[in-house]
């Protein structure tokens, strides 16, 4: 979580949060969320074990040195996530992109518990993922409802899950708590749990107008970023053809590599049509005393204590940076509109259909019972009666249950990944996952 350099956190928020973190009571008690009216978390490292329901999504694996043959362990967090039921963890939909394929190839995703994302006190295996079904190319971030859950292979019963709440217009102007493990400063430090206040600004409306106040203010921002072009025919991108000003700018402002910035009419169109998805995107932050979420904070909750219970009202989806910082113009949260609330309540009741049955399977007489793997659709139990094929169930040397002709040696299935990785493969995965840690708004290319 990246704190704005231009703003000093309020004394009330700092003092109240410090008191909350100093209280190291039983982990099963509800944490005190401080801030305005002692209802908001504010501005300090969030190290208390009472906040351990808020953790990370991470990947755990090993790789083999191709020269020495030595095996090294590898772990990296990449997004923030929150326990909302003993087996269910809330995060952003864009955080779980590709998780099925990566898991199939032997990378173990986990929910990391504890304030240090790189050294969790516990790692709980992720065994399934569900995405909120709305994938419309809509809203500021063009993601529809950017909400997902992952399900855990072990129930977490010693932490109090977060409740689910819905933002409404009556809460506009209130300060809420933002928590995450993302970048904290211009040095790129990240991976420890940080908390701060953000102001809830809007649940609908023209986002760029809400942020900059006027079209001229928006153009001033683009000029500050060095990419507006002023209609002078100069190139306004970084030359790689993707419309970005630079790798760090976070906002696309030109047809890079083709020469020429966007003209005023197109920028006016973007200004007028870039709108929050009503009830499903919230604009927060960018007010005095606020912090800003950044890379690694994606999926992190927007929280407040309601009737003594820590309640999540949204998850970090994306934001916008300046020439000073990567993440300092406020944030877009995926808000929990009615369809998302229905999805989350159903997800909280999820039970593992495979129970103790693994993807390798087991024999029950002539029958192979196995759980589907990550690339076979929804997690479910599959039973195959080998006797219908004139065969019986057998187990291979590596523990795979298969149908086999009586008297023959069971043979492993061809093409099943063995989970052995190289250092290059693991490093490429790490870079790919870190890029999911927070999204930045980009001006779409002119059609």
Which of 5-14, 48-57, 58-67 is predicted with the least confidence, judged by mean pLDDT?
5-14
242 and 284 assigned to the same domain: no
Confidence band of 343 (pLDDT split at 50, 70, 90): very high
Confidence band of 415 (pLDDT split at 50, 70, 90): low
63 and 128 assigned to the same domain: yes
Tell which of 276, 303, 324 closes a domain.
276
Instruction: Tell me: pLDDT of 5 over 60.
Output: no
The closest alpha carbon to 20, from 5, 8, 33, belongs to 33
138 and 196 assigned to the same domain: yes
Q: Residue 351: CB partners within 8 Å, gap ≥ 6?
A: 87
Instruction: Tell me: pLDDT of 447 over 90.
Output: no
Residue 132 maps to a domain: yes
266 and 293 assigned to the same domain: no
Q: Which domain holds residue 176?
A: 2-204+277-351+427-440
Q: 33-37: long-range contacts (C-beta < 8 A, 24 or more apart)?
A: 33/177, 33/303, 33/304, 33/305, 33/310, 35/175, 35/177, 35/197, 36/12, 36/174, 36/175, 36/197
Q: What is the CATH number of the domain that holds 20?
A: 2.40.10.10
Residue 374 maps to a domain: no
Residue 331 maps to a domain: yes
Tell which of 237, 252, 276 closes a domain.
276
Report the alpha-carbon distance of residue 117 to residue 113 in Å, rounded: 8
167 and 281 assigned to the same domain: yes
Cα dist from 31 to 191, 229, 365, 446, whole Å: 21, 50, 51, 48
234 and 95 assigned to the same domain: no
Q: What percent of the chain has pLDDT over 70?
A: 77
200 and 211 assigned to the same domain: no
Residue 415 maps to a domain: no
State the pLDDT at residue 14.
Answer: 25
> Parallel, antiparallel, or unpaired: how do β-strands 309-319 and 439-440 relate?
parallel
108 and 244 assigned to the same domain: no
Which residues are 367's β-sheet partners? Answer: 364, 385
Confidence band of 424 (pLDDT split at 50, 70, 90): confident
22 and 7 assigned to the same domain: yes
Which residue shows structure tokens 């960018």? 286
227 and 297 assigned to the same domain: no
Residue 141 maps to a domain: yes
Report the alpha-carbon distance of residue 283 to residue 90 in Å, rounded: 20
Report the alpha-carbon distance of residue 193 to residue 53 in Å, rounded: 12
Tell which of 276, 303, 334 closes a domain.
276
156 and 55 assigned to the same domain: yes
Single pTM value for the model: 0.80
Encoded tokens for 382 = 């599959």
Domain total in the chain: 2
Residue 347 maps to a domain: yes
327 and 238 assigned to the same domain: no
Which residue shows structure tokens 């004139």? 390
- Contact in structure between 96 and 104 (CB atoms under 8 Å): no
The closest alpha carbon to 59, from 380, 434, 423, belongs to 434
């Amino acid at each position: 979580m990246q704190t704005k350099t231009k703003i000093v956190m309020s004394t009330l928020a700092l003092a109240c949060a410090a008191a909350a973190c100093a209280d190291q009571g039983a982990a099963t008690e509800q944490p005190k969320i401080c801030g305005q009216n002692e209802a908001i978390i504010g501005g300090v490292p969030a190290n208390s074990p009472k906040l351990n329901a808020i953790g990370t999504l991470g990947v755990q694996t090993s790789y083999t040195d191709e020269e020495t043959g030595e095996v090294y362990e590898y772990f990296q967090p990449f997004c923030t996530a929150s326990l909302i039921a003993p087996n269910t963890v809330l995060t952003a939909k864009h955080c779980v992109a590709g998780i099925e394929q990566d898991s199939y190839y032997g990378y173990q995703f986990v929910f990391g518990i504890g304030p240090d994302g790189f050294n969790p006190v516990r790692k709980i295996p992720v065994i399934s993922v569900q995405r909120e079904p709305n994938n419309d190319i809509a809203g500021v971030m063009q993601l529809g409802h950017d909400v997902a859950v992952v399900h855990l292979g072990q129930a977490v019963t010693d932490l109090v899950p977060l409740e689910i709440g819905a933002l409404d217009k009556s809460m506009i102007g209130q300060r809420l708590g933002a928590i995450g493990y993302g970048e904290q400063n211009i040095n790129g430090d990240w991976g420890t749990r940080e908390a701060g206040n953000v102001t809830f600004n809007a649940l609908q409306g023209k986002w760029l107008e809400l942020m900059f106040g006027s079209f001229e203010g928006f153009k001033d921002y683009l000029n500050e970023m060095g990419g507006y072009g002023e209609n002078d025919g100069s190139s306004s991108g970084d030359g790689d053809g993707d419309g970005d000003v630079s790798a760090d700018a976070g906002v696309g402002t030109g047809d890079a590599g083709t020469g020429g910035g966007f003209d005023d009419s197109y920028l006016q169109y973007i200004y007028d049509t870039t709108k929050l998805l009503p009830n499903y995107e919230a604009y927060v932050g960018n007010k005095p005393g606020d912090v800003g979420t950044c890379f690694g904070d994606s999926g992190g909750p927007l929280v407040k204590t309601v009737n003594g219970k820590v309640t999540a009202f949204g998850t970090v989806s994306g934001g916008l940076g300046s020439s000073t910082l990567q993440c300092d113009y406020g944030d877009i949260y995926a808000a929990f509109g009615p369809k998302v609330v229905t999805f989350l309540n159903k997800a909280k009741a999820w039970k593992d259909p495979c129970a103790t049955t693994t993807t390798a399977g087991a024999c029950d007489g002539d029958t192979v019972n196995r759980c589907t793997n990550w690339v076979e659709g929804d997690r479910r139990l599959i039973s195959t009666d080998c006797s219908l094929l004139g065969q019986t169930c057998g187990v291979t040397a590596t523990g795979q249950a298969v149908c086999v002709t009586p008297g023959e040696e069971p043979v492993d299935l061809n093409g099943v990944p063995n989970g052995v990785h190289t250092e290059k493969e693991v490093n490429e995965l790490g870079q790919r996952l870190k890029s999911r840690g927070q999204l930045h708004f980009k001006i779409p290319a002119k059609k």
